[in-house]
Amino acid sequence: MDYYTTLDNYFSIQPRIPDGLLHGMYELQPGSVFSQEDGGQWIQGERKRVPFQGIVLPVTDKDLIRDASGTITHNTVKIYTNQYALHTGGQVEDRDGTVYTVTQELDHNSLHPMKRYLAECAGKAAVR
């Protein structure tokens, strides 16, 4: 192995969630849109389920410290993905049918593809 191959291998190592921990989830994307052709009217459509690999984990004490808004409840969870980007306000369906609303992206640096999000269980009252 030469110097450049070793250097390439060093920089290709990135934090990732092990594939064995990830499972199938769905991003729920709205199918309804505002149609400019129809004078800006709201056109009702079918919700799309876009599959991705992720994992739902409980919130830790460190997350409580990092959350600037102070809105973490007992219904709050973390969702981790490898590269798949979610949007704040978007909804995610877990394999057991539980729907979560993404409330915040937890910042990593931009050097690796792992993504972390805070999410609330949709439909449950926020008990503080």
- The tens digit of pLDDT for each residue in 2-27 reads 555 554 555 556 677 888 889 999 99
H/E stretch holding 7 = helix 3-12
Do the bridges between strand 76-82 and strand 114-121 make them parallel or antiparallel, or are there none, so unpaired? antiparallel
**Residue extents of the structural domains in the chain:** 3-121
Half-sphere exposure of 109 (CA within 13 A, CB side): 3
Candidates 96, 86, 81; CA nearest to 22 is: 81
- The tens digit of pLDDT for each residue in 32-42 reads 777 788 787 88
pTM above 0.95, yes or no: no
Say what the pLDDT of residue 51 is.
96
Q: Which CATH class is domain 3-121?
A: mainly beta
